[in-house]
Amino acid sequence: MRRALEAARDNVNVLPNPSVGCVILDDSGQELALGRTARPGGPHAEADALAQLGGIAQGATAVVTLEPCGHTGRTGPCAQALIDAGVARVVYAIDDPHPAAGGGAAMLRDAGVHVESGLLADEVREQLAPWAYRYWHGRPYVTWKYAATLDGLSAAPDGTSKWITSPEARRDVQRFRAECDAIMAGTGAVLADDPRLSVRDENDLPLPYERQPMRIVVGETTIPNYYRVFDRVAPTLLIQSREPRDVLAKLMENDIHHVWLEGGPRLAGAFWNEGVIDRVIGYIAPAMLGSGRAALEGEATTLADLRPIEIDDLRTVGPDIRIVGTPGPPPREAMGKGEGYE
């Protein structure tokens, strides 16, 4: 299972498909094939692995990170493909939460295949959260990225912010951006910085991804059509709302699973106050400003409002420090009653 999980983690962004890994073993436990889910329209992990064996895996064991699907969508049901291949045993980590795709385990059992579940479930659940969160909780998974100085400032008093962090950090950001299917900023940040909100290389050119993330601009201020968020690199969605829950509902309507939130502190603060940020990625430059604009405009008034973040990863990227963490629950039930943002 860990081998399948590593394959899923190393996969490219395949949203709106889940990134799944599958290992097929012979009856002595030797690996016969390793498969990964492709982009929509391509094979799922099980089909990818079976194709390497000519579709025949008589008596074999399939180890899959996600319950094999039981429905026909862009491809046929993986559960049936495993049955047709002669697989005798299937081990998977977590149930498929997709309302249409579940039921594969029951299909396998009905065909006489031995089925087990739960192996490395917590690790797989964490890996699949950016895809599965909308099915578990009814909204997209939200990653907030910010860059700041050691004293927590993301812009100087005159509003300048480019560049606080190093070229190495900016390249690292593009790798994370590429894992999402939407990049979001507020109208204030767009008007101030004229960002592209796309995945780019070190020469500021769009990377040749088959599918660039959708660009989301949130707020009620008009953005002139000559701004770079309206170029042809990626689609752009304008959401004229000041409420995070409304924004997330609109993203659900547009089949967004994982949104990358950046630019600027009022937008991030609104989502933070509402308790709808699921992962924080901070790039901290070894420098001080002394005065300027904080990375986050929240509602805290006392230390009782302090919200912990569990550190998942901490490392240097060039001269900067990168922190990846999971926020704890909001400390007060009154969160989410801010003034909105632009």
Residue 334: partners with Cβ closer than 8 Å, 6 or more residues away: none
Q: Is 267 annotated as a binding residue?
A: yes
Please tell me the pTM assigned to this model. 0.89
Residue 79: partners with Cβ closer than 8 Å, 6 or more residues away: 68, 69, 70, 103, 104, 105, 107, 108
CA 165 – CA 14 distance, rounded (Å): 29
Residue 225: partners with Cβ closer than 8 Å, 6 or more residues away: none
* Six-digit token string for 99: 């309302």
Tell me what pLDDT residue 210 has: 61
Of the CA atoms within 13 Å of residue 47, those in its CB half-sphere come to 17
Instruction: Look at residue 337 and tell me whether its pLDDT is greater than 60.
Output: no
Dihedral in degrees, nearest 10, Cα atoms 297, 160, 172, 37: 60
Instruction: Look at residue 333 and tell me whether its pLDDT is greater than 60.
Output: no
Report whether 236 contacts 215 (CB < 8 A).
Answer: yes
Report whether 213 contacts 291 (CB < 8 A).
Answer: no
Quick one: how far is CA 182 from the chain centroid? Answer: 9
Report whether 40 contacts 16 (CB < 8 A).
Answer: yes
Instruction: Look at residue 263 and tell me whether its pLDDT is greater than 90.
Output: no
CA 13 – CA 37 distance, rounded (Å): 10
Q: Is 237 annotated as a binding residue?
A: no
| Mean predicted confidence (pLDDT) in 276-284 | 96
List 46, 67, 274, 297, catalytic entry: 46
Quick one: how far is CA 291 from the chain centroid? Answer: 33
Dihedral in degrees, nearest 10, Cα atoms 223, 228, 231, 235: -60
- How many Cβ atoms are within 10 Å of 22's Cβ, its own excluded? 30
Tell me what pLDDT residue 162 has: 80
Three-class secondary structure of residue 274 per DSSP: helix
Q: Is 262 annotated as a binding residue?
A: yes
Q: Is 161 annotated as a binding residue?
A: yes
Determine the residue type at 319.
P
Report whether 183 contacts 198 (CB < 8 A).
Answer: yes
CA neighbor of 71 nearest in space, from 80, 63, 62, 61: 80
Dihedral sign for Cα 150, 154, 158, 164, please: positive
Q: Is 268 annotated as a binding residue?
A: yes
Instruction: Look at residue 208 and tell me whether its pLDDT is greater than 70.
Output: no
Domains and CATH numbers, the chain: 2-131 (3.40.140.10), 139-327 (3.40.430.10)
Report whether 45 contacts 33 (CB < 8 A).
Answer: no
Q: Is 46 a catalytic residue?
A: yes
CA neighbor of 132 nearest in space, from 105, 99, 92, 174: 99
Of the CA atoms within 13 Å of residue 147, those in its CB half-sphere come to 23
Q: Is 53 annotated as a binding residue?
A: no
Q: Is 270 annotated as a binding residue?
A: yes
Q: Is 264 annotated as a binding residue?
A: yes
pLDDT digits (tens, 9 = 90+) for 10-23: 988 899 999 999 99
pLDDT digits (tens, 9 = 90+) for 57-109: 999 999 999 999 987 777 779 999 999 999 999 999 999 999 888 899 999 99
